[in-house]
Structure formats: C-alpha cells, structure tokens
Amino acid sequence: MKLNKSEIRLRKASIRDISLLIEYRIIFLTETYGPRSPEKITLLQKSLTDYFSRAFENKTFIAWIAEYDEKPVGFSGLVIREQPGNFETISGRTGYILNMFTLKEFRNNGICKMLFQKLLDEANILGLDKVELHATNDGESVYRQFGFTEPHDKALEKNISTEIL
C-alpha cells in the first residue's frame, strides 16, 4: 500500500505505550523467528512488562512509534548501555537498536528509515559513542544506507539461560 508520507506521524513512546510495545514486539519476534507456545509468550509478556517499566523509568530505553490514520504501523527502540570505556568508546556509553518493525502492509514507504533516523538523532543528543544492532535480511540494506558496517571485533556469545518451555 502506497502511503502519503506527510500523513505518517512519528511520536516518542512513553510508559503508557508499554502494552503496545509488547504486543508489536511479539508480532515482530513471531514473524522473524516463528510461533511459540502460549506459555512462552506469557512469560515473555511478563518479562517485557518488567523490563519496559524499569527502562522507561530510568531512561535506558527510548522508543518511537509511527502512526498512519491514528493506527500504529511502525516501531523502533534504542537501549542505552554503559560500561567502562575503551579507546573506541571513551565514555563507554553505547546504544543498541532493536524493535525495528513495520507492519507488512505498510512496508516500503520509508517508515523504517524515518524511525531509524529518530533513533540516531537520539543517540547523537545523548552523546553515545557507538550504536549497534543485529540486522534481519530485510533490514540490512536500510542500515547500510546509514553507514552501518560489520564490527571489526569478532563477537562470541553463550546463552546461559535454560530452555524453560
């Protein structure tokens, strides 16, 4: 569906939007990684409610919502992280972008780029040293247009949580 871009409204999310952010994060995760059991969804909803409540309160999470005809159609989020600095990130303050999601029927209208730019603007205002993200195949070309590249350090990870369900 082709949209009139002047009718797309962007607004900064607040603590009042937690249920909306949770609903659409689960839609995004299901679309990206496949469906999960109702029990796992319930556990995730509780965890996300706790996380977003704390993160909005202590200002370590920023989200933007795109609306069209007063309906939410796109989402973005920025987690603000802090750790000891190093030679590349002197302050140790970095951002992690997630929740980049546009409903299928509203894609290819520039919504992702508009939301992404809002997050980068926030990162600049906050004086973050670096912003990183994990890209889906669909999103990678958008992020590269903004100058994102592969990290020069190899990242390793280990999942220490146990599979619950």
Query: Do the domain assignments include residue 27?
Result: yes
Tokens of 4: 């009139």
Total count of domains within the chain: 1
Query: Do the domain assignments include residue 92?
Result: yes
**What's the gap between Cα 25 and its chain centre?**
9
Q: Domain span at residue 136?
A: 9-145
Place of tokens 């205002």: 125
Place of tokens 């989402």: 75
Query: Do the domain assignments include residue 163?
Result: no
Tokens of 88: 């590349």
Query: Do the domain assignments include residue 62?
Result: yes
Query: Do the domain assignments include residue 77?
Result: yes
Diameter of the chain by CA atoms?
47
Query: Do the domain assignments include residue 119?
Result: yes
For the chain (length 165 residues), average pLDDT per consecutive 10? 90 98 96 96 98 98 97 97 95 96 94 97 97 91 93 85 59
Prediction pTM value: 0.90
Tell me what pLDDT residue 163 has: 56
Query: Do the domain assignments include residue 165?
Result: no
Query: Do the domain assignments include residue 17?
Result: yes
Helix axes 111-126, 137-145, angle to 10 degrees: 60
CATH number at residue 117: 3.40.630.30
Q: pLDDT tens, 22-38?
A: 999 999 999 999 999 99
Tell me what pLDDT residue 1 has: 80
